[in-house]
Amino acid sequence: MGNVMTRTPMKSENARRGLLAVLMLVVLAGSVGIAWVLERQSDKKTDAGAEIIRQIREKGLGNYWSDGLQADWFLVQAYGETIGWKASAWGAFVKGNFVGVTIEVIPNRSRSHEIWMLNPEATIGTYHAEILLTDGSGFKTDISLKDGLVKVRQHAGGSSTPVANSKAPENYLPEGTLHLAVQRVAKTRANAQFAMVFNEQASIDDVVEFGTLRMEHIGKKKNSQGKDVSRVQMSRGLGKKSRIVYDLDEKGKILVIYGEKMQWTSANRQDVQKAFPNAPKLMHQMLQIAASKHR
């Protein structure tokens, strides 16, 4: 009895340790497996993004955008009130290149604009963005794409960063093609991941800091007019940060953009002008600036 009593606890302890080791191995294997699955999913999304860009370049921007100037107008709303406006215009320009402008004005808060130019294959382009806050602060971003190389320079507080250079990833979304990518994701019902330069994300050590942009077709719904709309969810980063949902009609026109605290509702120019009389004039001025830059 004495020998049995002294050996049994040791056997139990050894068995417990052995079971714990097995459980740890199972957990480790599970973690590795989950990481592998997530990586594979990310790879598939990256491939889907690269494929969308490849198709855009292969067919050319002219296949998606008709001749002449096209424009989208939006009223910016928050908490049931209209607080500002936004407009985007784009079209073919000199030598077959495409030029676009986006301007957003929220009185007593901020004003921002973007000007971009792309060749028909979206392999060469330039981009300039500027945001100005009511307290006088703001920043500017300049981006160029040529020969597969992305160059970025940022300006804030009276100073500028050195030019950052990096090779464009295969899923790099050229500036000016964001809404086109949203339309392609809606049409193909894709789940895609893109690399993009975010204006407020500073470059480090002269290397371009590419952000992650995810787009996913999340089905259809009936809008208030009873018509079917396709829905695309877009988020920045690897989680659900800055989640935005686009509602598009059957022709790919963006009807509503839902943000976390604001929404952008499609409107005609007359409705925007009624609420903000100076809007068409500001948009015209911005188009003139874009034309002079790329003439």
Please tell me the distance from the alpha carbon of residue 55 to that of residue 47, in angstroms, as a whole number: 12
- Digit-coded pLDDT (tens) for 123-158: 999 999 999 888 888 889 999 999 999 999 998 877
- Of 71-80, 132-141, 232-241, 283-292, which range is least confident? 232-241
- Of 28-37, 212-221, 231-240, which range is least confident? 28-37
Mean pLDDT (whole number) for 103-108: 95
- Digit-coded pLDDT (tens) for 21-64: 666 665 665 545 543 343 445 689 999 999 999 999 999 999 99
Mean pLDDT (whole number) for 97-111: 94
Label each residue of 146-182 as H, E or C: ECCEEEEEEEECCEECCCEEEECCCCECCCCCHHHHH
Q: Are 78 and 262 in contact (CB under 8 A)?
A: yes
Q: Return the structure tokens found at 163.
A: 């030019």
The helix/strand/coil state of 290 is helix
Tell the residue number behind the tokens 């600036």, with chain if given: 289
Give which of 57, 289, 282 is closest to 176, Cα–Cα.
57
Please tell me the distance from the alpha carbon of residue 272 to that of residue 277, in angstroms, as a whole number: 8
Give the rounded distance of the alpha carbon of 203 from its chain centre: 18
Q: What percent of the chain has pLDDT over 90?
A: 62
- Digit-coded pLDDT (tens) for 113-126: 999 999 999 999 99
